[in-house]
């Protein structure tokens, strides 16, 4: 499992309390809806559903990979919009995250972590977490690049894929 995914899961389960339980059928329908939507919008990416930590309920985890890039998605649905607002505000005001507001993404969004790899966006009663990673050192031209160029590419790729996947997930949530 990619290192960024482990860090993402650790952060998710430390900062965010587990919401109401959702039935397995509800989670399976949501998983299939997202899988189909993202497969259409992001061809070539390989999908994998990840089981949440034993005992947790109501959390959908997906991993998407292509070449030397990876994106993890987690969706948590709360009982109400107000509960989701409270949860995202707890994360936003947690001094350990150093979360920064992000505009134009869902109803409310914050980025945090190394290179702001992690983002959470609220859409109604749902919180959508997306984290992206780019293993630029494994790119075919990595050895011809300076360390500064590799860092710039990594930051650019992280921002690109994090934003692209978040946009498509939020779009999928709007669909019936």
Give the pLDDT score at 2: 55
How crowded is the C-beta side of 49, counted as CA atoms within 13 Å? 14
> How confident is the model over 146-169, as a mean pLDDT?
96
- Tell which wins on pLDDT, 175 or 166: 166
Q: Which domain holds residue 26?
A: 3-174
Which regions of 124-173 does DSSP assign to beta strands (E)?
126-134
Give the pLDDT score at 106: 78
Instruction: Find the farthest-apart pair of alpha carbons in the chain and give their distance in angstroms, rounded.
Output: 52
**What H or E segment, with its residue span, contains residue 45?**
none
- Asked if 148 and 131 count as a contact pair (C-beta separation under 8 A), the reply is no
- The closest alpha carbon to 122, from 55, 75, 156, belongs to 75
Instruction: Please tell me the total count of domains within the chain.
Output: 1
How crowded is the C-beta side of 156, counted as CA atoms within 13 Å? 7
Could you tell me the CATH number of the domain that includes residue 56? Answer: 3.40.1000
77 pLDDT higher than 90: no
């Amino acid at each position: 499992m990619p290192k960024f995914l482990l860090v993402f899961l650790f952060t998710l389960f430390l900062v965010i309390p587990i919401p109401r339980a959702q039935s397995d059928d509800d989670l399976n329908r949501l998983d299939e809806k997202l899988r189909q939507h993202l497969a259409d919008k992001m061809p070539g990416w390989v999908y994998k559903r990840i089981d949440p930590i034993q005992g947790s309920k109501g959390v959908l985890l997906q991993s998407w990979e292509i070449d030397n890039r990876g994106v993890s998605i987690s969706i948590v649905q709360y009982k109400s919009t107000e509960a989701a607002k409270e949860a995202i505000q707890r994360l936003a005001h947690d001094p350990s995250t150093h979360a920064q507001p992000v505009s134009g993404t869902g109803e409310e969004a914050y980025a945090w972590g190394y290179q702001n790899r992690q983002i959470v966006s609220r859409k109604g009663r749902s919180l959508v977490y997306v984290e992206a990673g780019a293993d630029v050192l494994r790119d075919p031209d990595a050895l011809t690049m300076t360390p500064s160029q590799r860092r710039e590419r990594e930051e650019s790729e992280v921002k690109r894929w994090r934003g692209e996947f978040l946009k498509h997930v939020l779009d999928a949530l709007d669909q019936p």
